[in-house]
């Protein structure tokens, strides 16, 4: 029997919950950022900003949700909106993150098919790969946490203090709890 079968939360709901936790944490940080910090360029070419990483995260959720809406069969992460407003204005991004949280919550109630297609470009061609909603939700958790970790590093450069758990994958948080007890005990 699989590990997930022992959980009291149905697998899809558990995956949605992990995404919601990450998005909520990101939204609360983004909503408090000053626009000049959100837009501060890093790196030798100035390609990295907090805003670009947040926008990139939003783009991926929009691609998932858009793929589920448009016929409900194909997800396409390659052709994202890349809305520059979301890179420039943290309050706009925080609002969009809240809307994504609401849309993910609604997935629990909707009858979205588990089987999905994923458009994946290879050179000049595009493949449609078989995937599942659960697989894509797991991918988005890891993808979001990865970019949140980068956001955390950039925020440190600005002197912004973030919670210890910001940008930490749920599996790592579970490991910390098993190894060292509740997070509150880690701070003591």
pLDDT digits (tens, 9 = 90+) for 77-86: 888 888 899 9
Cα separation, 114 vs 98, in Å, equals 24
Domains detected in the chain:
10-187 (1.20.120.450)
Sign of CA dihedral 33, 17, 73, 99: negative
Tokens of 17: 């919950």
- Bridge partners, residue 127, by sequence: 120
Residue 10: the pLDDT is 59
Q: What is the pLDDT of residues 110-120, one digit of tens each?
A: 777 778 888 88
Residue 82: the pLDDT is 86
| Listed residue (131, 148, 120) closest to 53, CA to CA | 148
pTM of the model: 0.85
Confirm if 90 and 33 have CB atoms less than 8 A apart: yes
Strand locations in 93-173 (E): 115-122, 125-132
Confirm if 106 and 112 have CB atoms less than 8 A apart: no
Q: How far is CA 45 from the centre of its chain?
A: 25
Helix (H) and strand (E) counts in the chain: 8, 3
Tokens of 183: 């997070």
Residue 5: the pLDDT is 43
Query: Chain-wide mean pLDDT for the chain?
Result: 86
Strand locations in 44-114 (E): 74-76
Confirm if 5 and 127 have CB atoms less than 8 A apart: no
In this structure, the number of other CB atoms found within 10 A of the CB of residue 42 comes to 16
For the cut 80, the answer to whether the pLDDT of residue 12 exceeds it is no
| Listed residue (50, 71, 67) closest to 103, CA to CA | 67
For the cut 70, the answer to whether the pLDDT of residue 188 exceeds it is no
For the cut 80, the answer to whether the pLDDT of residue 47 exceeds it is yes
Residue 13: the pLDDT is 86
């Amino acid at each position: 029997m699989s590990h997930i079968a022992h959980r009291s939360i149905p697998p899809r709901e558990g995956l949605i919950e992990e995404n919601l936790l990450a998005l909520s944490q990101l939204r609360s940080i983004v909503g408090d950022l000053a626009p000049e910090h959100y837009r501060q360029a890093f790196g030798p070419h100035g390609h990295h900003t907090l805003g670009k990483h947040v926008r990139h995260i939003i783009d991926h959720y929009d691609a998932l949700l858009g793929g589920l809406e448009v016929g409900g069969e194909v997800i396409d992460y390659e052709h994202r909106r890349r809305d520059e407003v979301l890179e420039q204005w943290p309050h706009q991004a925080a609002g969009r993150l809240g809307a994504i949280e609401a849309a993910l919550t609604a997935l629990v109630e909707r009858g979205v098919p588990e089987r999905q297609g994923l458009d994946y470009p290879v050179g000049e061609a595009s493949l449609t790969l078989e995937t599942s909603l659960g697989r894509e939700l797991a991918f988005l958790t890891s993808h979001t946490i990865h970019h949140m970790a980068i956001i955390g590093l950039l925020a440190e450069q600005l002197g912004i203090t973030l919670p210890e758990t910001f940008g930490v994958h749920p599996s790592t948080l579970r490991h910390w709890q098993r190894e060292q007890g509740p997070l509150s005990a880690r701070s003591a």
